Structure 1
């Protein structure tokens, strides 16, 4: 099989990132192909000097023309290879979480970070949620889900799609039950001694933001009985942690989504914390202006907006958005208060985000001290060969 695979020849001076195990080959790096490659087919990638680099999967529709998976010429992309990749990802979570609550409520496969570019799997107790962002891996869904079933034995696997993947990858699949039983709505999971109701069928993204697990607990440690503003609150994760672990006297939770606020309200009731949590259905920027103009002050302000840009062309506008948001956040934060400010935009790196915060400090004439510069939880590891997956930044600051 491998000897008959088409070959992709790279241009001169374009091979170094891929010898260094970066998994994405864009069209601009490709000189030509040898042999007819069909979408999703395994291809052999070589330098212009014909030196083997890696085995990958071809997709001419995508900006990422080849996703690389195996740098061992003797290990093509057969079922045994995929099984080892999945087994390694599952084993890492078992070792890191060692039977604790996160082992049953975590990200099991994190795409590039687990050597499975284009595949994301979250675990919700007895159910799994899978999301494909690669046409080639979606074509192998039956095999990959069979391996997942053998390794984790879930009662069911639900498939979710990501907006824009049909155009980006030529991927035509729908949300729905992939294998096993329908998941309950909601599924209740445990995180840091709190219970959360999760709707994997219609919730945002893949249902729950596991990546902020440790940051929610860390932020709660700075509450110390104070008043908290939780913006873009979604299911109430930061606010509920502030109440449970920080003893907050009040949390004001703001979100533009009525469905998200209903979920947050349900979670507050589930944990017996609804009496200290107030919910506001409004655009966050507008609500911050209302609170500022009313002279409201909080001891801790949480800014956890959704991704602000997916393209480099929109990066400048995104940075203006972060700057405006953080200035508004500071306007309702008491002197000496704690600002928890986040970005999940992968194109915004830490240097850019810190420079933005420095500009905000100058514009507002306030000193911002970074107490903790945090990233995602351990089930979202960083692939050093693919820095693009270092997307989440969480800064806990004193202002």
Structure 2
């Protein structure tokens, strides 16, 4: 496993709840070369005196060197954890999703707030509509299959599409991809409610058509 050692004094922000570990806070990274070059690989984060701090997703190609998964030493980062956190996020917003306007983009998963750093998911069209996902960090990108499987099970929605934010993906050194992850691709043009009015939009790209 990778081991990230934090510079003395730089662990304070981590302990206060900041999930981001910047490159400037890292003293050294130990581990096999293939693991160090694997974007999103799970790393153990420790103080300069070798005390456990967290488990995090490491990314050598980003100024955000790591994003915290858990501060619990007894919580492994695995398929079960991803599934559990997706389910919890969906359950937390179940009532809102049920009552939401089916023509609105309903926020279903909100990254750090749900313990899934870099992951944003919006629902459109109700249970048989579409889930639009953004994988804006290397950690969730590495767990993409597990995320999609958990979303399909937790929501019952059969259609999952990956939206790409070029600026954020480039900042993480990730390839720019827009594609179907499950089921069918959303139509190029849908009516989406924004600020109380319906506007024609391509939810695959976020492009709003002129009226």
Hey, what's the Cα distance between the residues in 2 that align with 1:76 and 1:46?
16
1: CA distance between counterparts of 2:167 and 2:187?
A: 27
| Alpha-carbon distance between aligned partners in 2 of 1:56 and 1:167, rounded to the nearest angstrom | 20
For these two proteins, the number of residue pairs brought into alignment is 203
Q: Which residue of 2 aligns with 1:124?
A: 124
Q: Normalized per residue, which structure has more helix? A: 1
Q: Counterpart of 1:27?
A: 23
- 1:1-399 → structure 2 map (5 Å cutoff): 5-36=1-32, 37-38=35-36, 39=38, 40-95=40-95, 97=96, 99-102=98-101, 105-125=105-125, 126-189=129-192, 194-204=197-207, 259=209, 262=210, 265=211
1:99 is paired with a residue whose SS is: helix
Answer yes or no: is the 8 Å Cα contact 1:156–1:181 preserved in 2.
Answer: yes
Q: From the two aligned structures, give the one with the greater strand fraction.
A: 2
Q: Is the contact made by 1:57 and 1:136 (CA closer than 8 Å) also made in structure 2?
A: yes
Aligned residues of 2:136 and 2:169 also touching (Cα < 8 A): no
Q: Give the Cα separation in 2 of the matches to 1:43 and 1:24.
A: 13
Q: CA deviation at 1:86?
A: 0.9
For the Cα contact (< 8 Å) 1:120–1:132, is it kept in 2?
yes
Structure 1 runs not aligned, ≥5 long:
205-234, 236-258, 266-399
TM-score after normalising by structure 1 = 0.47
Distance 1:17 1:187 in 2: 43
Deviation at 1:192, TM superposition (A): 8.0
Instruction: Please give the alpha-carbon distance, in whole angstroms, between the structure 1 residues aligned to 2:196 and 2:57.
Output: 42
SS in 1 for 2:98: coil
1:193 to 1:60, Cα distance in 2 relative to 1, 3 A: closer
Aligned counterparts of 1:173 and 1:77: Cα–Cα separation in 2: 25
Moved more, 193-202 or 9-18: 193-202
Cα pair 1:42 1:58 within 8 Å, conserved:
yes
CA contact (8 A) 2:132 2:204 kept: no
SS in 2 for 1:148: helix
Q: Is the 8 A contact 2:83 2:146 kept in 1?
A: no
Shift of 1:89: 1.2
Cα distance in 2 for residues equivalent to 1:164 and 1:106: 23
Give me the whole-angstrom Cα distance separating, in 1, the residues matched to 2:156 and 2:178: 21
Q: CA shift at 1:167, angstroms?
A: 3.2
* Structure 2: segments with no counterpart, 5+ residues: none
What is the deviation of 1:7?
1.3
Shift in alpha-carbon separation, 1:64–1:187, aligned structure 2, 3 A = same
2:158 and 2:97 map into 1 onto residues whose CA distance is 21
The corresponding residue for 1:375 is none
Flag the structure with more relative contact order, 1 or 2, with Cα contacts below 8 A and sequence separation at least 6. 2
Q: How many Å apart are 1:191 and its aligned residue?
A: 6.7
Report the Cα offset of residue 114 of structure 1: 1.7
In 2 relative to 1, CA 102–10 (structure 1 residues): closer, same or farther, beyond 3 Å? farther
Once the two structures are TM-superposed, the CA of residue 92 in structure 1 deviates from its matched residue by: 1.7
